[in-house]
Structure 1
Amino acid sequence: MQKLPLSSRFFVAGHRGMVGSAIVRKLQAEGYQHIETRTHAELDLTSQAAVQAFFKDNPVDYVVLAAAKVGGIHANNEYPADFIYENLMIECNVIHQAFAAGVKNLLLLGSSCIYPKLASQPMRESALLTGVLESTNEPYAVAKIAGIKLCESYNRQHGTNYRSVMPTNLYGPYDNYHPENSHVIPALIRRFHEAKQARAEEVVIWGTGNPMREFLHVDDMAAACLHVMNIDTETYQANTQPMLSHINVGTGTDVTIRELADLLAEIVGYEGKITFDSSKPDGAPRKLMNVERLAALGWQSRIGLKEGLQSAYAWYAEHLGREAIRL
């Protein structure tokens, strides 16, 4: 395993998000000091001219593309045009302008939603483009698939070293706790906390509670990203394929939404009734990642689900009312 020189210059796009901020923390903890970041106000990644100017003025060795428009089932249903347009524009601009500026190394962060709704479980990288996508987040998934293929195409045509990692469901510090646009873990943390504070008798959760989901703490994801970036080209290529170069990142285990809700209620200290509204959509029945490829490359997750959820709730409770938390 090689190690990127400490003199390496990074651009982490999306550093204020949950994943981007974790990657910045990990890079800093490893001793990297040359890390470029920009807020949306400072750099609009959907603007081709702005991204071109950024790379012209800020030479970097490695781009980590963690910026994305993300959200849960409700947000994806309500704003499909926003999700496909903004994510396509971010990927096209950053990947192409990085190439145009001579950046040879890039890491794209994708999502497990790229796989077909009824893909065999656990989902292997080879399941990509083998079936129909889950309808509730298809626009977002199509954009992420396009990002993977952009990286593969630039590698094939131009000899770049653009890699893609596909995380399972992530959670942790700096997650989005918006009541309608958040993912399941932050949504449940907020709802159980507020129900506990209000002494509510019941919390109603969308769906049947039967779908199974895999969850990875974002600090594990950041560690996996740096691990993938450090893999030498020969080893990486030996464990991937030119047209199948993305790598799954996950724990390899999953739980039902009902089990997750019960565990979070226990951690938060909510003792009321939990009811599932089966008239609301469930999403895909199961989304478990096959992580054999990453294991063969020397990495596996370390943070257990209960431990991770406890730390996530502690962070939420500590940061309530502060600017860092997105409500």
Structure 2
Amino acid sequence: MATQRICFAQVSDVHLMPETGCRCWWMSDSPRHQLEAAVAHLNQVPDLHFVVFTGDLVDQADPQSFELFQEILAQLRVPYYLSLGNHDIDTLGREGRFNREQFIRWCQRQFPLPLAPTGYVDYSLSPLPGIRLIALDASLGQFPLPQGVLRPSQLHWLGEHLQAVPEEWLILLIHQPPFISPTHMDAVLFRKYRLRSEQAAALHTLLADHGRVVAVLSGHLHVPRVYVQDGIPYLTAPPLVGPVSALRVFELDVNPRRGILRYHWVHLPEPGPRPLWHGLVMGVRRDRWGQIPLRAKGARSLPAVAQ
């Protein structure tokens, strides 16, 4: 069986804002500088195929920051794809903030956006043969409520769509982490900052039935985490804006039956002093690099590889 090698990167929680914008004390002094540094680094990654951004592209849902994001990303040498974060839209109709329709139109200027018929920013596309990229909109839209939600229409569409692409390996983007079990300590600590438990369980069931999942990629927590449940890797990204500034690079070796997903952080230079909880967010070894065996449904499991 021929093995396909793919390299891609995840960037999350950029939080671009006007230079006069109000920043939290733990944020970078210049989100723009951090995004420019990320693009410069990504342009040097050998054989990079594409980049995904898992939400909170901007901080205040303002058009000026979205335009700046697009201007900076024009320098990126590979395709990129976007998912929606809770800071990216405001559905209350307040002047000077993007709603969903504006966000969709803005995305369509940058990459093909085959929207799902759900009424939300859900889409599916194939960036490379055999690879399926799906983004789900879990934002409540009342700026910037943190908890995520998936509606019945979204889960129904996803279930039907996965049946139509049974042979493709799936990368799922969703800003709010879909923690699977409330027994996870993080599910308790971040209960207001994750997908609702019953919807996370329903999502997990659909992915397990599909049986070919490369990774479920999220952001939102500003704390990196790696979980594997029933062979499905769930990874929350380190944030670009702080309290650490980092991105993840993935290397995927995959064939029709199994694969290996390797990942590591790229820690970018951070202007200004580090906040007190910088060390806590830096993560342990398994969060910063590692590799996860993948298998198609019905294929024999590979042994876990020591990190």
Category of TM-score, reference length = shorter chain = 0.3 to 0.5
Higher helix share: 1
Calculate the TM-score normalised by the size of structure 2: 0.37
Bigger radius of gyration: 1
Higher strand share: 2
